[in-house]
Structure 1
Amino acid sequence: MIDLYSKIVDNQAKGIDMVLITAIQKEGEGPVEVGKKLLVVETGEFFGTVGGGALEHYAIEKAKSLIKLRAHLTEKYLLDKGKVTPEAKTLPMVCGGIVTLFYEFLGVKNFVYIFGGGHVGQALVPVLKPLNFHVTVIDERKEIIDDFKGADVVVHQHFADFIEKNGIKDNSFVVVCTPSHTYDYHVINKILELKLNPKYIGMLCSIDKLKIYLEETYKKFGKKVNLKNFYSPIGLDIGGGAPEDIAISIAAEILSIHFGKKSQKHMREAIDDNNRYWENQ
């Protein structure tokens, strides 16, 4: 028998999201037992059971949608295709009864991907870790990766190749600080090409370099490309130019986005009014 709780612990250690479904109430007949559990993993795998049949099929699909939303849910189901009730969703079954399932989202709440493990990346990780972020650092330089400390996951791979192979979790936070502006552009272009949906993309960049990047981006994706969640120059406008100062600025910006704060002054607002790229939509 598979130990669901061991599966949960293992997946959480790997940063894999899941939904644990529990049958919490039953009225009438039917095969469902209160307390039965079904674990659905973001990879599509599932373990355990809440009774099988149409109920289980529906529950698995519902759990997959909740993983994307990173949300909990309690929902009632009438297991009789010939009946309708306002208090429960009718499923095509004949066993009868009403079952209540609780969908519990289990996963790391906040994912951060740092592309580039140089001075800024090294300074940023110890700032983010106490703030309940799951941090992945990607760098193609083996000497950087071999010595990197503190991140949850450290990956030795070309930056754009990582995105091509692994994608980026929806509503995650992306920090781009590679050793080359060309690599920076590759990262962001790959995110745009694949139409991924991070909540935040911050790029370490001067205003002059940013203008060059925007020109190239508009040529490739058009003037209406969605850059609403793109923040460059990166960070909040708090001053300081050392890697540690920049790390605090970036972490503060990530927190402001995460908590939906609007009053902070972002570094991207320092560019002139004709280049407010995030307002182009």
Structure 2
Amino acid sequence: MTLGGDLPVRRLGFGAMRLAFGGSVRDPETAATVLRSAVDSGVNHIDTAGFYGFGDLHSHEVIRQALFPYPADLVIATKVGPVIEGGVVPTAEAKPDQLRQLVEEDLRRLGVDRLDLVYLRVGGATAAPGGVSIGDRFAALAQLREEGLIRHLGVSNVDAEQLAEAQAIAPVAAVQNQFHVHFRGDSELVAQCAKDGIAYVPFFPVGGGGAPIDHDRLKAVAERHGATTRQVALAWLLAVSPAILAIPGTSVLDHLTENIAAAGLALTDEDMAALSE
């Protein structure tokens, strides 16, 4: 798939959150090993955020330590908007005039002159999409794009109305919302993204965030293919729409190998029908 019309990416990427926020890894060298293994296995799309961190371990710094100087084809996507005010979980949102500082911090921490893809993440950790205007904040990021600090823009945790508001301001290359085989509320938005040439990048692709995957419904399909339920969930995402880029995250090498293998799992029409019941 080509992200934003000019960045070729493989459809199975890597989400960095679990390396430093919500995962079991607390050793930077172990986290770096997982990242290097992902890239060595062909992954060229890494999703991160400045607020992914716990203690002294943060995903931006792990990515730079593990992969800099970056491979020429590597695409690093980041998110701005949430602000941590004490503790480790973002509890506030940046105002339009604060977004420049967040983008400049991401540039410095990742060691790049231009960010490949920056999402405006809307809402806090548990906020549902919709209900607020994102125009002023997205326009602030669009200005940074005009200045050459950002290559492509995205939006995260938005509804169709908010996406349209962003599109009226500047091109949107990607949408990142919650979506998986048993959480399909965004089906219409996924179809719209495919029509408009926008990448749709689900977070929690194998469950999480209050919407866990019911593994019993995946078990029969997994058994037919000699696969795991996690692999079937990822394969379903890749099969359900050509717009989808999957970014499963892990802090465990064995899980990384399992996730990457899911890209080669071809589900049949019978499988897809069974998973839609």
TM-score scaled by length of structure 2: 0.31
Structure ranking higher on relative contact order (CA contacts 8 Å, 6+ apart): 2
Higher strand share: 1
Name which one, 1 or 2, has greater alpha-carbon Rg: 1
**TM-score, normalisation: structure 1:** 0.31
